Structures are given as structure tokens and as C-alpha cells.
Amino acid sequence: MTIKKIINTLFPKRTISRIFIGILRHSPFAFFSALFRSLLATKQLTGSFFPVACIVYPGSSLYVQRHRTAKIIMRGRLIVRPFLVGEGRSRILLSSMSIFQLDDDFEIGQNAALHAASNAKLYLGGRDTSSGSGITADTIVMAEQSLSIGKDVIIAWGCTITDSNWHEIEGVERACPTVIGDNVWISHRVSIIKGACVPKGCIVGAGSVVGPGQFPENSLIAGMPAIVRRENISWKR
């Protein structure tokens, strides 16, 4: 049996031990740096070093600002790693009485920001049946009321996803829940604004602006504002 097969047997893929063994094989120094940053981020987010809830790869950094009343539900791991050897700190900002829920592993690249305002809920489904789920890089996700991102969702770089205007406009509702369904692919430079609902299996075309509206499942939506361009599509990561 080869060394690779032995490692695969003792340490299955996607387990924490397997991830850190991979880093150790690459560089012992990188291993200790990644381990320290991962434990620190886990402590800042969950209040405890164990179980490890954040994995911060070499070349990445994560800033966590959490109010003591924020509620954290971690059923998966937040994995922070650079996209295309990019640089920049990712951030998680959780205000008072907010809820941050992660149901399975979710990856974020450099300069990704996740923010839940006071009393807001931010839900991330994470990876379920696909090979991965997460944000490539340079994307802002901001919840003031309720923002949900389903399972097996991939989000490209330079996107903005929010459920609020973040300013008061006379006669206009400030915030409205935003929902992204399972198995959605969001291309680069997309804006998904308050009240949007992107159904299961959809692709959102690059540079689109998605607001409130009715879209069928498994459709390609694109444009400013986004409309249905194609129906009955199928895609995989």
C-alpha cells in the first residue's frame, strides 16, 4: 500500500486532520501558522478553541468581530483560503442579538465580508452533495433582517448580496428577506438586493442586478434588472 493510500485510509478527505496533514506536507512552518490562526479564529467566533470551526489556510487571514450576545450555530466549518494566490483579510462582523448559522463546510476567499446587523439572521447552507460551496473573493454579504444562502451555492468574485437599502427612504421599506436557493451559481460582479429570491438550480449571469421577482427553478437569469434568459438548465461544479 502506498503512502497516499495509507493517508486516505487513516484520514478521509475533507476531515480536519486530513486538511492539516496536507498543509504540514507542504511546509512545517505553514502548518503551525495555519493551526494557530485556525484556533484563534475559532475562539473568536465560537468562544472556544475546540471543536475547530474555522480553518485558515496559509496566506489567508480572518478578522472576527462578534458581539457577546450574537448566537453562533456551527454544524460545519468555515474554510478561509486564498483564491489565485490573492491577498487580503476576510471578515466576519456579528452585531448584538444577531444569529449566524452554518450547516456544512463553506469556503471564502480573500476580502470576503460576512455581516449580520443587530437582530439579523445570516444563514449559510454550505456544501451538501457538490464538491464545494462558498465565495471566491472580494464579495460582501450583509444582512439587516434575514439573508439565506442555500446549500451547494457558489459565488464568484466582486459580488454584493444584501437584504436592505441600509438607509431610510421615505415611503420605502428599508429591509426585506433575501433568499438564495440550493445549487445556485452566482457569476462575478452580481448584485443581489433586498427581497430577491433566486430559486434552486439557477445561474445568475455576470454583472446582473437581481431584485424582487418571480423566477422558475433551473433557469438562467441575467441583466439589469435580471430577467429569465433560459429555462430548464442544468449545471454542476
**pLDDT above 60 for 7:** no
Give the pLDDT mean for 151-173.
97
| pLDDT band of 8, cuts 50, 70, 90 | very low
pLDDT at residue 187 in the model: 98
The whole-angstrom distance between residue 60's C-alpha and the CA centroid of its chain comes to: 15
pLDDT in tens, 178-209: 999 999 999 999 999 999 999 999 999 999 99
Distance from C-alpha of 204 to C-alpha of 215, rounded to nearest angstrom: 11
Question: How high is the pLDDT of residue 32?
Answer: 81
What are the tens digits of pLDDT across the range 59-114?
Answer: 899 999 999 999 999 999 999 999 998 999 999 999 999 999 999 999 999 999 99
Q: Please, are residues 211 and 201 in contact by the beta-carbon 8 Å criterion? A: no
Q: Mean pLDDT over residues 169-174, rounded?
A: 95
Q: What is the pLDDT of residue 17?
A: 67
148: helix, strand or coil: strand
Q: What is the residue-averaged pLDDT of the chain?
A: 91
> % helix / strand / coil in the chain, to the nearest 5?
15, 35, 50
What's the confidence (pLDDT) of residue 172?
95
Domain ranges of the chain: 1-51, 59-230
d(CA 93, CA 162): 14
pLDDT at 16 over 90: no
Grouping H, G, I as helix, E, B as strand and the rest as coil, residue 28 is helix
What residues does 123 pair with on adjacent strands? 101, 148
The better pLDDT of the pair 177, 22 is held by: 177
Q: Which helix (H) or strand (E) holds 141?
A: strand 140-143
Give the predicted TM-score (pTM) of the model. 0.89
**Has residue 18 got a pLDDT over 80?**
no
Percentage with pLDDT > 90 across the chain? 82
Give the CATH H-level superfamily of domain 59-230. Hexapeptide repeat proteins (2.160.10.10)
What is the C-alpha separation between 56 and 107, in angstroms, rounded?
Answer: 10
Peptide bond into 177 cis (omega under 30): no
pLDDT at 82: 93
Q: Which long-range contacts (CB under 8 A, 24 or more apart) does 99-104 make?
A: 99/70, 99/71, 99/73, 100/70, 100/71, 100/72, 100/73, 101/73, 101/75, 102/73, 102/74, 102/75, 102/76, 102/77, 102/78, 102/126, 103/75, 103/76, 103/151, 104/75, 104/76, 104/128, 104/133, 104/151
CB atoms within 10 A of CB 77: 23
Strands 113-116 and 134-135: unpaired
